[in-house]
Amino acid sequence: MVETVNGITSATQSASSVASNKLQNDYKSFLTLLTAQLTNQDPLEPMDSSTFVTQLAQLSQVEQSIQTNSYLESIASRLYNSGLTNDLGLIGREVSVPGKLFDLISGSGSFDYVLDTAAQDVKALIKNSAGVTVAELDGLATDGATLHSVPWNGLTSDGQKAEDGIYEVEIVATDAEGEAVEAEPYTKSTVERLTLQAGQSLLHLSNGETALAMLVASVE
């Protein structure tokens, strides 16, 4: 499903089209003026044609510029439509985008994360909708600048099966000196629909979050 927001419509008049219409009017005015002056000129003192030649050359240069802009607009439109088609293919797929929320479905869930730099120790705290930590996953990958994927079998810290739903993950990472290492979690969720916002594809995820399609790190 594709929607448009912020007043975006599919039928817009390009700048080159407007400029082209104005140029046509300028040509008509130029020819009308030239015809009038030629008709009323004094045969004994014929008018200097250099001015008209100069104006005609200027109009021709403007026309070439408009044609160039029209070609560029056509290329940009094709690239945009190609990108939108690719984004539509994300509907129904599970994607990984920056965010803390992820789905637990049939006792199975997963999330991703990226560390700014390598760490000594990394763990994930999984919290329920009330913000209570229900599980802690230790010994996670410590490489920096790499997208790491972590599965969760839905088991809580006391060995119970967590209910299906939406959970939040917090990544806690430290270096060899015990200093905190910056970590960014990536939510993994299914794309339910797509809308356009300010000319960009906005994904609506099953966990209730939204994300720009350009931020997708991986697709399953």
Per-residue pLDDT of the chain (220 residues; tens, 9 = 90+): 444 333 333 334 455 566 556 656 666 666 666 666 656 665 555 555 566 566 666 666 656 665 656 655 554 455 455 557 788 889 999 999 999 999 999 999 999 999 999 999 999 999 999 999 999 999 999 999 999 999 999 999 999 999 999 999 999 999 999 999 999 999 999 999 988 888 788 999 998 999 999 999 999 8
Give Cβ neighbours of residue 60 (< 8 Å, ≥ 6 apart).
none
pLDDT of residue 86: 82
Pick from 82, 83, 35: which is nearest to 212 by CA? 83
Do the Cβ atoms of 191 and 220 come closer than 8 Å? no
As to burial, measured by CB atoms within 10 angstroms (0-12 exposed, 13-18 middle, 19+ buried), residue 115 is buried
The label of the residue with tokens 């919290």 reads 127
> Rounded distance, CA 98 to CA 108, Å?
20
> Rounded distance, CA 30 to CA 11, Å?
32
| Single-letter residue type at 157 | S
Quick: pLDDT tens for 149-177.
999 999 999 999 999 999 999 999 999 99
pLDDT of residue 172: 98
> Rounded distance, CA 201 to CA 3, Å?
10
Give whole-number Cα distances, 104 to 66, 125, 136, 148, 163, in Å: 55, 15, 15, 18, 8
Output 72-77 pairs: Cβ under 8 A, ≥24 positions apart: 73/14, 73/15, 73/16
Give whole-number Cα distances, 102 to 86, 154, 193, in Å: 23, 12, 17
Do the Cβ atoms of 199 and 8 come closer than 8 Å? yes
pLDDT of residue 197: 84
Report which secondary-structure segment, H or E, holds 153: none
Quick: pLDDT tens for 171-213.
999 999 999 999 999 999 999 998 888 878 899 999 899 999 9
> Rounded distance, CA 143 to CA 120, Å?
9
Residue-wise burial string across 132-141, b where 16 or more C-beta atoms lie within 10 A, e elsewhere: eebbebeebe
pLDDT of residue 196: 84
CA angle 65, 68, 70 (to 5 degrees): 110
pLDDT of residue 73: 58
